[in-house]
Structures are given as C-alpha cells and as structure tokens.
Chain A
Amino acid sequence: MEQEKLNTFIRLLQKVQKQPNRTFDLGLIVKEPKSKMSSVKILEEIKKIATIEKITYDKLSVDEDVIENLVNIFEKDKWVFLEIKKDIGSPLLNQLKHLANYNSFQLIDYKEKDVFEMKMPKNSRLIVFAERDFIENKITYTHFYRLFGPTLSL
C-alpha cells in the first residue's frame, strides 16, 4: 500500500480547514480497477491513525438508518468510513452535501425536533470509499466528486 500517500491524505484531512468558514473536508478514497486493495485492508491502515467505524451503504441499507448511524458515530467523536455500494439516495445525499458545506447535519422532523441540527465534532471526519467503475457508472449524482476535498486514488 502506498503508505505515504495515505498518511498525507489523513494528515491533510485532519488539519486543513478551509477559509473563511473553517470547515473540514470530507475525504474520498477511490479504488482503481487494477488495485487489489480491499476496503478492509485500507480500514485497518486508517485504524492505526484514527478511531474509525465502518458503515456499508448497499442495497440492504435504508438511508434514514445510515444517517442515524452517522449521527451516532459522530456523537462518539469518532471518524466514519462509509463504503458506498449503491447509488446514493436523496436523503443521504442531502446530508452528505450539508456535511461537506457546513460540517453539520440538518434533518427535518428528527429526534423530536422540527429542524435537527448537529455539528460534526471537530475531531471527527468522514471518509467515503468507492470503486472507480462504480462511481463512474452507477452514481447518478453528477457532482459526486465535488463533495470531497482530498481524494486518494489507490
């Protein structure tokens, strides 16, 4: 594994806050077609640097449950490794965009609040993992790459 590249990716994800809102970036790890790296192996490597939990978003996942999982993990000040295996549904996309723009969730009628807002803890980060072919051919949201700051291609 290109350890140095991964270290730089993590370091910049940890440190860089964009002016002027001081927001952190969401990170993207793209698995290239020829790569033999598995998400498990990458996750193991990241675990050496950060406390992270994995969420898999696949055909069995319900957007609202994934969002709840994200909220719960962030409440514990941890990082999230979100592996995407199906096209992103509108509720999850809304929250990913909100996290990318403001580092916060904004949910309507959630946890008994008309508008629920929760700031991503300053020590938490979100890394999305997906395969290149999947992003290019299955993700219908045409601005997917723009959700992220650092992108690591492995």
Chain B
Amino acid sequence: MNPEKFRYKSPEEIREEEIEAKIKEKGPEGEISGGIVFEEEIDSETQEKKKYIYIGNPYEERPIITKLETGASQEEIEAIKKEIIPMKESFEILEAMARTYKHRQPLLIEAPTAIGKTYLADKFTELLYGRGVKPLDFYCSGQTDVSELMAKWVPKVETEEEKKKWNEFLKSTEAQIEISKIAQEAEQKEKLSQEQKLALIHTKLQELAKSAGLSEKTQWRFQYGAVPKAMGTIRNPDGSFSFDEQKGMGFTLHIEEVGLAEPQVINTLLKLRGKRGQLAEEIQLWENGGKKVKSGPKFWAFFSTNPPEEYLARNEVDPALARGVVFKRMGELSEESLHLAADYYFTYKLSEKPEEKPEGCILDIYNHPEIGGEISKVVSAFHNDLNKELKKGEKGRQQKIPLTLDDMARVADALIDEQIRDKKTGRLDLAESLKKLIHFYYLDRLADQDLKETMTANFEELLNGDTGKIEFEGEVRTRKEIFDILVERASQAKEEKEETPEETEKKKAKEALRDLTEFQDFFEKDLEDLGKDVEDVCKFEGK
C-alpha cells in the first residue's frame, strides 16, 4: 500500500495550494491574470488584521511565491495589476524583486531598455506602499558626484553673486579633492570624539574658503545624499517624507544606469554591502565626522543598468559591485512578449478608455479589440525589425537609440485622435493613419537616411505587399484589406447604433421596398419565362 495515497494535507499545505492556484490563474482567453495575489490575514502573534501580497511567476510550473506585507488596499492592488502587461519577463523581474526585498538583499538587473526595469521598480513600490508612491530614484551618469549619493557640506550664502562664486569653487576638481581630504583627515583622527571631528571639519572648511578668496565666516549646512536618505526615510501617512538617521523605517532606493557610474561612485555604493549578502545595517559618513546612519527595516536598494552593448563605450558592471548584489542578467524581450505588449497597447487594456469620442477621432478603435489585435500584429513585427537594425547603430549618429515599449504606447495613444478619413468611403483610413504615426514616432528620428528609406519600404510592403499577406477568414489578404474590412464592419455597426427611430423606420421601409422590387423583378422574369414556355408549348402542339 502506498502511504502517499492516504496522506492528509496540513492546513498550511492546503493554503499554499490555494495561493499557488491564484498565482497561476488564467483569464477566459487563457491570458495570465495571476502573478500577484492580495490577502488579508490575522497576524498570529499580534492578532491584528494585516494586508499581504503574494508574488510569484505564473509562467513557472512550480513558482516560488513570496509573501510581503503591503500598505496598499485590495482595490489598489487590482488597479496596479491591470497596469502590468503580463509578460514572462515582467514576472521574472517582479519575482526577483520580491525575493530580494524579503531577504534585504540588494538586486541588480542588467537588461535591455525595453524590458521595463524602471517601470516595474515603480510598480513594485506601489505594490508595497500603495498607488502613486514612487521609489527614491537616483540616475547615474559620467557626471555623478559621490556627494550627491552620500552627503555634502553646503555653504549658506545670501547673495546670487556669492552663490555663483561658491558654486564655481565647489565644482572645481581642486575643491573636491580638498574636501575629500578633510573627510579622510577626520576619519584618521581616531582618538577624537565625533563632536571634535565635526569641529575639525568646520575649521578646515573655513580655511579652505579663505584660501579660495571666499568668506571664511560662511556657515555650512550638512546635507544627506540619496543613500542615507533612503536608509532613514519615514513615509508619513499624508504621503510626505521625513528623515530620522537612527529610527527611520527606510524606503526603496532605485539606482539607475549604474553601468555609467565612475569608479569612485561604485566604491561609494560598495558601502551598502552588508553581512551574508544582505544590505549594510548602517553606514558611517566621514563627511559628518563619522556619524552613523542606520538602515531601516524597509530600506531596499535596487540597481539597474542596460547591457554594455547598448553603450558607446562598453561599461561592464563593476565586478566588486556584481559580487555584492543579487545579479540578474536578462536578454531581449521575446517576440511573444513584444506581441503581447502591442496587443495590450492597441486594444487599450492598460488604461481607462475615453468616455466621449475625442476630437479628431473618426472611429472609436479603443472599443474594437478586433481592430487593435490586427494593428498589434503589424506594429510589433515592424518594431521588432527596426529594433534589430537600431541595435547595430546608425550611420551619422554616435548614440545608439534602441526602441522601447513607450514607442508603441505613443503610437497607440495618438491613433485614438490622429485619424485620417478615407475620401472615398468617408470612414477611417486606418492604414494611412497608422503609416503617418509610424513615420512620426519611429522613422523621423532616424539619422541614417538609407535605413529610413528601407524601413519605409518595409512598412509599405507589410501593409500592401505580398509578403505582408496573411489568411483572414479563409482568404489570403493584405493587412490593408483586413484593416478596411474591420473598419467597415465597425463603422456600419456604429452607424446602425447611432440611427434615430425615424431613420431606422425609413431604412426598414427602404429595405422592404428594395425586397419588393427585387421580388417584382424576379416575378416578372418568371412570368416572362412562363409566357415563353407556354408559347413554345403552343408552337410545339400547333406543329
């Protein structure tokens, strides 16, 4: 006898299975509708009712599901879910975010522009805190100054002229070297108390000001940078932020384009490494005499960057930083995901549809998913082809500009009210309208004229040529023909819907008259044929 056959499931196991089923839930058309699950539960220790979200990758057969406490309501979670295109890559990222957040581990995702790193960091923060809450963002570039990340002394100046002088001085390499020397000196004076170190820093800053011909009496103010602010931030119930370097709860910090950061910035970020691969529990700022800033329980750092091949100079992620974080590298969006995204944009599933038909809108395509579905096939195919070309770089331009999903989103949004009328039919000329928008958003930006001409011809071929033809309702047709058929149907249905009762009566009467005329024609012809037959018979008998 197999004991497994008679095994009773524990309540935990049953609960796990319930959650897993919700995570893997699919909609009526097989679309992913799970991935994120909201539950209210009683905390076993405090007996308080608490709100939780479960996050897992619904594309996995056995997903790892992470439970996190949330400040968002069920309605908010449902609304946030609707704004996430359920692509495989999106859930891979969300799952990685949830798992590392739970374990206080910093996460670094290296992935192409279009994959939605920034967008998902934004949505993950909303899932934790509620709609509209954004992470603290810091964008790296070759120009990033370490002091913006950590801390700096800012002179209190009154006049514009003084301000300009100070700014020029503080931006100079000489001043930056001197200021960092002051912090190092304070760090090395181990026997001094923190107050004594602060006094030393003040004296040195005044000496520096004097040597640069600036007022040595200037007062200085200490300003924390993005990292300590995120560690000690308190998010108040009204949505505002306050800061407590010792008791702050901490918040999400998103450091973007870390691949562009200079070595000194990377060295500073390494301070965030803590024990056992977790985030540091505190950091010490020598700029402030060695004062420590504690990392609150909700502090979490997420780094993102594009792959080195997207940069002009190859900037690999610094190995030391890569070792100190959970490092996830992702490839391009799959064609399947790209098409799914296009479908979401062109069937307008992601946001509220206009209540009234906007000016410039001939046909309310946002209410016709059958049209959106066909547009999405054309746009995603074109987007994919052009993106492959752009990844190689363009003639006449140094910067590489790969496409993003925003490009599609722009075309979809503009297509609502940037419509062109077909002069013959008086209806929407969808192919022409789409062509205009593809030109504006995709092709007009190209510096490489040869590529522009090739892609223009490719789009034309996709719409009207043989290579773009597909089977539609049992017949092989061009995309333009398919657009025309769908627009005609939608317009006819709309015209019928918009008829007044009198117009409907008139139309019915017209149709009845037409049927009657047709019947009369048929009857007359029949009668004529019968007459001929009779005549023939008579002739025959007479013969």
Residues of A bordering B, CB below 8 Å: 8, 12, 15-22, 25, 60, 62, 64-65, 87-91, 93-94, 97-98, 101-102, 104, 106, 108-109, 113-115, 117, 135-137, 140-146, 149-151, 153
Contacts and interface: CB of A to CB of B under 8 A. Distances in A.
A136 B399 contact: yes
B69 interface: no
A90 B397 contact: no
B134 A106 contact: yes
Contacts of A19: 344-345, 348, 350-351, 409, 412-413
Which residue, of A15, A18, A60, has the highest number of chain B Cβ atoms within 10 A?
A18
Contacts of B225: 108
Interface in B401-424: 401, 404, 406, 409-410, 412-414, 417-418
A136 B397 CA distance: 7
B139 interface: yes
Interface of chain B: mostly helix, strand, loop or mixed: mixed
B138 interface: yes
Interface string B100-131: 00000000000001000011001000000000
B136 A115 contact: yes
A102 B242 CA distance: 21
Given A15-B414, A64-B167, 9 more contacts: A15-B417, A19-B412, A25-B410, A93-B143, A101-B122, A108-B223, A114-B242, A136-B399, A149-B406
Given A19-B412, A20-B350, A101-B118, A142 B312 contact: yes
A12 B242 CA distance: 38
Interface of B: 82-83, 113, 118-119, 122, 134, 136-139, 141-145, 148, 163-164, 167, 223-226, 229, 233, 240-243, 256-257, 260, 306, 311-312, 344-345, 348, 350-351, 397-401, 404, 406, 409-410, 412-414, 417-418, 440-441, 444-445
Contact of B414 (A12, A102, A143): A12
Contacts of A104: 134
Nearest to A21: B83
Contact of A146 (B164, B241, B401): B401
Contact of B113 (A113, A144, A146, A153): A146
A77 B344 CA distance: 33
A153 B441 CA distance: 12
Contacts of A141: 141-143, 260
B410 A115 contact: no
Given A19-B412, A141-B142, A62 B406 contact: no
Contacts of B398: 136-137
A108 B351 contact: no
B92 to A, nearest CB: 19
A97 B137 contact: yes
Contacts of A135: 399
Contacts of A144: 399
Contacts of B145: 90
Contacts of B223: 108-109
Contacts of B404: 146
A149 B440 CA distance: 10
10 contacts: A16-B413, A19-B350, A19-B412, A22-B351, A101-B137, A106-B134, A113-B240, A144-B399, A145-B445, A151-B445
Contacts of A98: 137, 139
B441 A114 contact: no
B195 to A, nearest CB: 23
Contacts of A87: 143
A111 B227 CA distance: 20
A114 B243 contact: yes
Smallest CB-CB A-B distances: 7 pairs: A20-B350, A115-B241, A20-B83, A18-B409, A19-B350, A90-B143, A114-B243
Contacts of A101: 118, 122, 137
A146 B306 CA distance: 13
B163 A62 contact: yes
Contacts of B344: 19
B256 A90 contact: no
Contacts of A153: 444
Given A17-B413, A20-B351, A142-B311, A94 B139 contact: yes
Contacts of A21: 83, 119, 122
A145 B401 contact: yes
A101 B113 CA distance: 13
Contacts of A109: 223-224
Given A19-B350, A97-B256, A136-B399, A150 B441 contact: yes
Which residue, of A8, A102, A146, has the highest number of chain B Cβ atoms within 10 A?
A146
Contacts of A93: 139, 141, 143
Nearest to B418: A12
Contacts of A97: 137, 139, 256
Contacts of A94: 137-139, 148
Contacts of B401: 145-146
A16 B139 CA distance: 25
A17 B148 CA distance: 31
A115 B229 contact: yes
Contacts of A62: 163-164, 167
B136 A18 contact: no
